[in-house]
Every structure is written in structure tokens, then in C-alpha cells.
Amino acid sequence: MIVPYQTSVCFYRRSQKAPKYYNFIDKLQAGNIQLISEMVKMGELLRWMVVLLSITSIALASLHGEEEEQDILAVIDISLSLSFSSCDDINCDNGGSCFKGNCVCPDKTTGIYCEVLENPCEPNPCYANGNCSETEEGYICECPRDFFGTNCDVIQSPNYPDNYDKNTDMTWVLSGIPDKYILLQFEDVFEMEDYTVNSCGHVTYNSLSNEACVDYIQIITGDINVQYCGGAPPSPITAQEGSDVLIVFRSRTICSYRGFKLNYTHIDQPIPPVNPIISPSYPIMYPDDTYLTWLVPGRHGFNISFTFNGVFGVEHDDSCKYDYVMVYTNDKYCGNVKPEPILVPTGEDAMVIFNSEYADGFEGFNLTYEYQEN
């Protein structure tokens, strides 16, 4: 950005008649305009300072001898915008170019003459204490073991998205930053075994107890301590302000699955407290032969409030035996009547289960949940 040099000279005087500043204007017009013009042509910053001092001296001199004049306020505001037009004596560094006496700086440079090189590694953009190295394109992070991504902001199970190894234990510690929140977001592909699986087939998860997880990822931060497994990615998790996050991955079964991929970042504000849980293809017909689970971890001192929104359509049966959505308790919901809001007591986890056997043109559901302080 090009900014012209500018200054203003103001002074005030009270008099009984119109202020006698015409002599000042006459002097400026008669003796100084030519001087200003010559200095502008020379393009020297130091000469501009002389112009400012000259104008100030003339302005102050015009005040003397007028003390007997009272009552009328006189204001002279002189504003000079000096845009140096000559580039003859301007040398711009680091590939900068001169335009009307000012340096236009390329990317990654700043300063009057583009003499300051910006360092993309300050502050360090690499998470997990990764090493930052400057490159022509910007920077590159050398990540510590088991951290991945452009900014070392990705953790994942071994071999992801291929199957993870059996009998594996891994831990990660994400360090909190004061006044920041750590946001955890899982990729769509999420697959681990639980205790209900007797073969390496379809993965299900139908228990609210963490003991149901044989292979799992565990998130520990603040008042959150929960394990995830099965076939549905967890909802985003926001740690408490400034808190560290401990992540544990464990596999023990004879089978192996694709596992997980998790992105994390530091944010200034927590994500909105309302989180969606939506059936596949909503509000278009959901697929048949579907079994999905979502685990919403409880938080000490907070209730979990579930609300059904929009159209609700799940194949009707008197006992909701075939297609249904179940929230927290063993109560199953089906049909086209939207269920009432559901409140989960403080500190308790809540499981949401959706099951379909034979879809026949039903919209599904749109469910949101939020934490409410008890």
C-alpha cells in the first residue's frame, strides 16, 4: 500500500476583528511554494522535514504582536500532502518496485524499502512442537513421531485408511494454550471392533458402557473421559479452555479394521453448543439395512438436551420393531409424529441408535443436542 507523506499545522487566536493571517499566506505563496516544489522533485525525505519546520516557523511568527486583539477565534489549518513523484533516489530491496517515490513490496516483505523479510516460522505454525523450516513456497513442518498433516495437526491409527495392527497401544498428548480451545474432529471413515462382534464382519455397537469397546480410541480432557468404537465417527469435541487432551488408542482383537483419523486445531471460541445427528440422506429416503450409533459423552454439571427438528419419518410399527431411532433409554421412536425433547441427567452418557431393515420411502430424522448447565 502506498501512503503519501502528510502533515497539518494548526493554531488558534482570539481577536476582536478578522484574524490577520493574510501576511502568512502571502509569505507562503511568495517565498515557499517554489521551495516546496524543488524539494518534492528531489525526492528526499529529509528535505520534507525542512519544509515542515519552515511552515511551522512562519505560522508561529504570525501570532506575535496580536495579543491585544480578543474575542474572535481564528483557526488556520494547513494540510500538505506530499507525494514524492521521483524514483531516482529510491532503492527498494528484496524485489520491491518504486511507484511515485514509494516502494511497492512483494509478498513476505515489509518496511519502507521492503527491507524486512517476514518469517513464516514465527510464530511456529507447527503443532506438537514440530520443527518449522522456511521454503520458497512458505514453510514445511517436520512432525514428531505419530503426528501428521501440514501443521502436525493430524493423528491416526496405524496404516490408516488401511486396517490397523492387532495388539497395539498408542498415546498422544495435545498441549493446551492459554485462552484457546482444542477442537477435535473425526474423519468420516471410522471403524473399530466392539465386544458384540464374533467375526470380522459388520461392526455394531449397542451398549452405553465403555466396557463394550474392545478396540477403542479414548479421549480424556477436563471432565470428559470417554471411549469410542463401532462404525460411526463421533461428533466434534471441544476441550475446556487451556486444557491438555490425552488420546489413547488400543486394539486387542483377532480382527482389525480401518481405525480413525482425527484433526485437531486451537480455536479462539468453542464451537456452537448445538450439534447435529442426522439420518443418512435426510430428508430423502434413508437406505435399508442400516445400523448407526452415536455416543454423546456426559459432562459433570451439565444435562444433555436432545431435540428433533424438521420432518420426522421412520417406518411405523406398533412396537417400532423394524425401523427405529432410540435416544438414551430403551424407548424406540418410529412413525411420523415428532418425539418430544429428551433430557439426559447431568454427567450421564447418551447413546443414539438408528436401525432400518426395509426402507420404503421415509425421510428419517434430524436430531440436535446441546449441553445445558444444571
Task: List, for residues 233-285, the tens digit of each pLDDT value.
Answer: 777 888 989 999 999 999 987 777 889 999 999 999 876 667 789 898 888 88
pLDDT, tens only, 182-226:
999 988 677 776 544 433 433 333 333 444 578 889 999 987 888
Q: Average the pLDDT over each of 5-9, 171-175, 210-214, 239-243 and give the range with the smallest value.
A: 5-9
User: Do 119-151 and 154-267 agree at the fold level?
Assistant: no
12 forms beta bridges with 75
Checking DSSP bridges between strand 72-82 and strand 5-15, what pairing results, if any? antiparallel
Give the position of cell 528484496.
94
Average pLDDT over residues 12-41: 44
pLDDT at 174 (0 to 100): 96
**In this predicted model, which residue has the larger pLDDT, 299 or 272?**
299
186 forms beta bridges with 262
Q: Which fold has domain 275-373?
A: Jelly Rolls (2.60.120)
Quickly count: other Cβ atoms within 10 Å of residue 241's Cβ: 15
Average pLDDT over residues 5-17: 39
Tell me the domain boundaries of the chain. 5-82, 119-151, 154-267, 275-373
Whether domain 154-267 has CATH 3.30.420.10: the reply is no
Q: Is the pTM of this model over 0.85?
A: no
How far apart are alpha carbons 168 and 287 in whole angstroms?
34
- The Cα-based distances of 186 to 175, 234, 261 in angstroms read 18, 7, 6
In this structure, the dihedral spanned by the alpha carbons of residues 355, 358, 361 and 366, taken in order and rounded to 10 degrees, is: 0
307 forms beta bridges with 368
Angle formed at CA 353 by CA 349 and CA 356, multiple of 5 degrees: 180
Q: What is the largest CA-CA distance in the chain?
A: 106
How far apart are alpha carbons 335 and 362 in whole angstroms?
9
3-class state of residue 27 by DSSP: helix
Q: Write down the mean pLDDT value for the chain.
A: 76
- The Cα-based distances of 296 to 155, 254, 266, 280 in angstroms read 21, 28, 22, 18
Q: At the top level of CATH, which class does the domain 119-151 belong to? A: mainly beta
